[in-house]
Structure 1
Amino acid sequence: MTDTPATLVIGATGTTGSRTAARLTAAGHRVRAASRRATPVPDAEPVRFDWYDPSTHGAALEGADRLYLVPPVGETDPAAVMLPFLRRARAAGVDRAVLLSSSALPEGGPGVGRVHSALPALFESWAVLRPSWFMQNFTGAHAHAATIREHGTLWTATGEGRVAFVDADDIAAVAVRALTDDRAPDTDLVLTGPEALSYDDVAAIMTETTGRPVVHTRVSHQAMCDRLARQVPPEFAALLAGMDLAIAEGAEDRTTDTVRRLTGRPPNGFRAVAAREAGAG
C-alpha cells in the first residue's frame, strides 16, 4: 500500500467520473475509483462505494485526501444522503472536495444546492462545478440519446429556449484543475460550451452528424412531467420538467469563459463533439 494520498472519485464509471479518473491517472495521480460494484478502472484502485450503504464509506476513504463528488442519481434530497458522508470524510482527513452540481441549481437551492451551500464550512478547499446540460445527453445512455436512436425524436418542454451545452470532457478537465492545482477555486464554476443552441438546432446537428433524421417535438410542461413520471419518481420528474420550463424562459441562454480560464483552451463545440462521438459508435 502506497502512502501517497489519493483522490477518491465517486461515480468513477459515470460520464464525468470516468473522464476525471482517466485524466488524473494519466497525469500520474493516485486515484481510488469508487462505484457500487468496484468496477475496474484503468490505472486506478477500484473500491466499492454506495451512497446508501454507510458500511462502504470508511474503506473507500482510506488514503484519500480529496474527493470528486457525483451525487446519487435520481435522489430528490441528496443532502440527507451526502452530508453524513462528507462529515465523515472531513473527520478522516479529506481537505479538498469538488462537487458536481448543475447550472440550473444555485447554492442553497433544491436538490444538490443544499450540499453546495454546506461545502465551504466542511472543507479547507473546495469547488462546485455547475455545468450546463451535457452534450453526451444526445450520444450516451441518457433518455434523449435513447429516443434519438429508437425514434429519431427529442421530446422537450423547452420551446425555443437555448442551452450552451457542454462537453463532459471539458467538465473533467476543469475538475482535474480544481482537484490538483496548488490553490483550489473555493467558489462555484458555471461551465458551458461556446454557443447556446435550441433543441431544434440540436436536432438539425444530430441529423447531419448521424445521417438519420432527428426532430424536436415540443410538448407542454405538464405533458413532459407526465412523460418523465413514467420513467423516474414523480418528485424527480417534476424537478426535471421544471428545468425544461426554465430553459424555455431563458435561464440557460448564456455562455461563460470558465473552461478557457481554467484549462487555457476554448470549450469544445457541439457539432465537433457530436461528430466525434458518432464516429466512435
Structure 2
Amino acid sequence: MTVTGTTLVIGATGTTGSRTVAQLAAAGHRVRAASRNATGGVGGQAGAKAITFDWYDPATHAAALDGVDRLYLVPPVGDSDPAAVMLPFLRQARSAGVLRAVLLSSSAIPEGGPAVGKVHQALPGLFEQWAVLRPSWFMQNFTGTHLHAAGIRADGTIRSATADGRVGFVDADDIAAVAVHALTDEQAPDTDLVITGPEALSYDDIAAITTEVTGRPVVHHQLSYEEMRDHLTSTALIPPEFAAMLAGMDRAIAEGAEDRVTDTVQHLTGRPARTFRAVLEREHAGPR
C-alpha cells in the first residue's frame, strides 16, 4: 500500500532526482520538482510542478516547502560540509509540516561520517519517518556527464585510484525506484539502505564490458591517490578538499571497502537490480 501526499524533490534535474520525479509522476503522485533553474515539465513530466530552489538561497526555501509533506534530499554538489546549509532547511521543513524525509547519501559514508554523514545522523531526530539511501557508485558515471564518461568518449580511458578493487555499481533508475518506495510506501523504512547492483566489478571489468558493448576500445588507467586527487582538481576543477575526499574513496575501494552486493532493490521493488551490461546496452541504444 502507498500513501498520498506531495513530495518535494530537491535536485530534480540531477541523475537520481530527475528519475525520481519521473517515476513518482508516472505513478500518479503529486511532485514539486525543485532546482536552481526551474522549468515547466521537469524531466518531461507534465504532472510535476517545477519550482526554484537553491540550497544557498534561503529566500527560495519557504515557497518550496508550501504544502509539502515529504522530501527527497540531494545534497549540494561539491560541498564538503553540506550540513551547514541542509540542517537549517530541514528544521524549517519540520516546522512547516514535513513528516517524511529521504536523504541521498553514499555507501562510502556512514552515519556520523564526513560530509552528508552528519545530515544522516541528524535525520531521525528531525522527522517522524525517514530513510537514508546509501547507493554504491552509479553505473551512469560511465555513460553520462561524469569525468569517467568524458574520459571514455575523449580517449577511451577510465582513470581511477581503485587498483583492482571491486564496486557493486548500481543503476540510477534502480536508486530512484528505491527512493519512490521509501517516499510513498505506507511505512517509511526508518533506516539506512545500502543499494548496489547485482555484481561487484573492478574498473578493469567495467572497461572490458564497455569495450564489448560499444565496440570501442576502453582501458582502465590506474593512478595513485595523489595522481587521482590532482587529476580531479585540474581536469574536473573540483575544489582541493573535495577532490582529496573523492580520491580517498577510490583508495578505500582499492582496499576492498565497496566489494559487496545487497538485495535492497529486490526487497523494495520486487525485481532484481539491473546489471551493468544491461544498463550499458540500454544507454548505448540511445534515448529511451
TM-score with structure 1 length normalisation? 0.98
Residue 243 in structure 1 maps to residue 249 in structure 2: yes
**Map of 1:27 onto structure 2:** 27
SS of corresponding position for 1:189: strand
How far apart in 2 are the matches of 1:257 and 1:32? 30
How far apart in 1 are the matches of 2:250 and 2:174? 23
- Choose from 264, 276, 280 the match for 1:270: 276
Percent of aligned pairs sharing the same letter: 74
Mark the runs of 5 or more structure 1 residues left unpaired by the alignment.
none
Deviations 1:199-251 (A, max 9, x none): 00000111111111100000111111111121200000000000000000000
**Map of 1:64 onto structure 2:** 68
Asked whether the 8 Å contact 1:13–1:39 carries over to 2, the reply is no
- 1:82-161 equivalences in 2 (<5 Å): 82-161=86-165
Once superposed, which parts of structure 1, at least 4 consecutive aligned residues long, lie more than 3 Å away?
none
How far apart in 2 are the matches of 1:143 and 1:228? 9
- Choose from 154, 164, 168 the match for 1:164: 168
**Map of 2:260 onto structure 1:** 254
Deviations 1:72-127 (A, max 9, x none): 00000000010000000000000100000000000000010000000000000000
**Map of 1:78 onto structure 2:** 82
**Map of 2:215 onto structure 1:** 211
TM-score with structure 2 length normalisation? 0.95
Mark the runs of 5 or more structure 2 residues left unpaired by the alignment.
none
**Map of 1:200 onto structure 2:** 204
- Kindly provide the amino acid, as one letter, of the partner of residue 100 in structure 1: L
- Kindly provide the amino acid, as one letter, of the partner of residue 225 in structure 1: R
**Map of 1:226 onto structure 2:** 230
Let me know the Cα RMSD of the aligned residues: 0.8
How far apart in 2 are the matches of 1:181 and 1:274? 30
How far apart in 2 are the matches of 1:218 and 1:143? 15
SS of corresponding position for 1:64: coil
Size of the aligned set, in residue pairs, is: 278
